[in-house]
Amino acid sequence: MPVVTSADASAVRSPAADAAVLAVEADDVIRFARALIAAPSENPGATEDEAATVAADILSSIGARPEIVRGDADRPSVVARLGGADRPSLAWNGHLDTVPAGEPETWSHPPFAGDVADGRLIGRGAVDMKGAIAAALAGAAAIARAGIDLRGSLWFHLVADEELSGVHGTKVLWERGLLDQDAAIVGEASGLQLGLAERGGAWITATAFGAAAHGSYPERGVNAITSMARLLLRLPEALPDISHPLIGGPTVNAALIEGGTAPNVVPDRCAIEIDRRTIPGETDPAAVVAPFERLVEQIRREHPEVAITFVLNEWCDAAESPPDDPIVRLAREALATETGGRAPAAVGFSGITDARYYLNEARIPTVILGPGSLTAAHAADEWVPVAELVAAARAYARIFVAFLGAEGLRKSG
Ligand SMILES: [Zn+2]
């Protein structure tokens, strides 16, 4: 992969970058965001087709030729390129799907209206993440409006299915060989800070086996629910004593439980689903499962009847960006420029994002950078500050021009 070495951080304040930022229109940001919010794409529950059409129309209006890419499940991701030469190239990734809106009565504004009130844009997807998509599209629209031709290629990857792990979205683009840019930005809400690491996850089923007996003679059986209880309260002991500077230590959560057959029967089986979140450096699934097995061995010293097995169902690697990569430096400078010189903080993501496909599969330096706070995501009255959407559009425009280079800036004055 060609490596971009020319991206001098001061390029974010070049005349072309300044001209692009001046051309950013808050109206574009709001209009694009409202159009995307008005095209529901609840996942699970719907497809992204309507939202993909809206995004493709906006991309066409700024000079791109968007294509819809569909995997086996027929879910649409929009891929579009703006600019001149193939290299350098930069991908901007945002997901078109949202979590379901839930009961409309729990909202004080209609979930698909995109109302603006008190400086907030409100609606399903406002912060996660149709607002960010609108900001990136508005940044690209500003570049076109300023008469700037990007020297390299800006790729939009507006994808399906991120909320349910991205297998029908960004993963499809990866499988089709479309993740081959020199750097990437994933626009998940980072509060305009620099997201440089994210957790991974291991989903593990633990099953306790006992012996059934009549409920009036519990001593004649082995209660699998009791065995599981002995494990449940000690789950945190299976966490290694490690920590990452941006995302802290690993975590464990017992997420689901089932067991027993009837009120008058000693249960011979109890199962739980364990959500074990990993941090960068935890790359061996066996090493994550083994401490749970050792914990059961400890429990068995006092309670030899306890029999519990573990099966790893899903594994998702944690991800980390190279902190000195050109895209990281440019993003840091661009954000500082847009926020009055204050350098953004490097932050970690506790959740899992599509950045992992760029970082871990395609090996592309990637930053997570977007407007708003994830604390407002997935809830009723989801919102994002309008000012942050516009600041994001300006920062994206700066980064796009600085990373890809500019030609054709009309001389003014
Ligand atoms: Zn998201």
Active site (annotated) includes residue 25: no
Q: Roughly what angle, to the nearest 10 degrees, separates helices 326-338 and 386-404?
A: 140
Report yes or no: 209 and 224 within 8 Å, Cβ to Cβ.
Answer: yes
On average, the pLDDT of the chain sits at 95
- Flag whether pLDDT at 404 surpasses 70: yes
Going by C-alpha positions, the residue among 310, 340, 305, 346 that lies closest to residue 325 is: 346
**How large is the average pLDDT for residues 102-115?**
96
Active site (annotated) includes residue 162: yes
- Flag whether pLDDT at 103 surpasses 70: yes
Find the 163 Cα to ligand 1 centroid distance in Å: 7
Query: How confident is the model at residue 217, as a pLDDT?
Result: 96
Find the 129 Cα to ligand 1 centroid distance in Å: 5
Find the 187 Cα to ligand 1 centroid distance in Å: 8
| Candidate list 28, 42, 48, 97, residue with the active-site label | 97
- Flag whether pLDDT at 178 surpasses 60: yes
Find the 141 Cα to ligand 1 centroid distance in Å: 23
- Flag whether pLDDT at 71 surpasses 70: yes
Query: How confident is the model at residue 341, as a pLDDT?
Result: 83
Tens of pLDDT, residue by residue over 230-251, are: 999 999 999 999 999 999 999 9
| Candidate list 162, 188, 268, 320, residue with the active-site label | 162
Looking at 124-128, 301-305, 409-413, which range is the least confident one? 409-413
Find the 306 Cα to ligand 1 centroid distance in Å: 41
> Half-sphere exposure of 24 toward its Cβ, with a 13 Å CA cutoff?
29
Q: Roughly what angle, to the nearest 10 degrees, separates helices 26-37 and 386-404?
A: 110
User: Which pLDDT band holds residue 409 (cuts at 50, 70, 90)?
Assistant: low
User: Which pLDDT band holds residue 5 (cuts at 50, 70, 90)?
Assistant: very low
**How large is the average pLDDT for residues 159-186?**
96
- Flag whether pLDDT at 411 surpasses 70: no
Find the 215 Cα to ligand 1 centroid distance in Å: 48
Query: How confident is the model at residue 9, as a pLDDT?
Result: 81
Find the 161 Cα to ligand 1 centroid distance in Å: 10
User: Which pLDDT band holds residue 321 (cuts at 50, 70, 90)?
Assistant: very high
> Half-sphere exposure of 125 toward its Cβ, with a 13 Å CA cutoff?
33
Going by C-alpha positions, the residue among 95, 71, 67, 69 that lies closest to residue 81 is: 67
Find the 53 Cα to ligand 1 centroid distance in Å: 19
Percent of the chain with pLDDT over 70: 97
Burial 127-139 (b: 16+ CB within 10 A, else e): bbbbbbbbbbbbb
| For ion ligand 1, residues whose CB falls within 5 Å | 128-129, 188
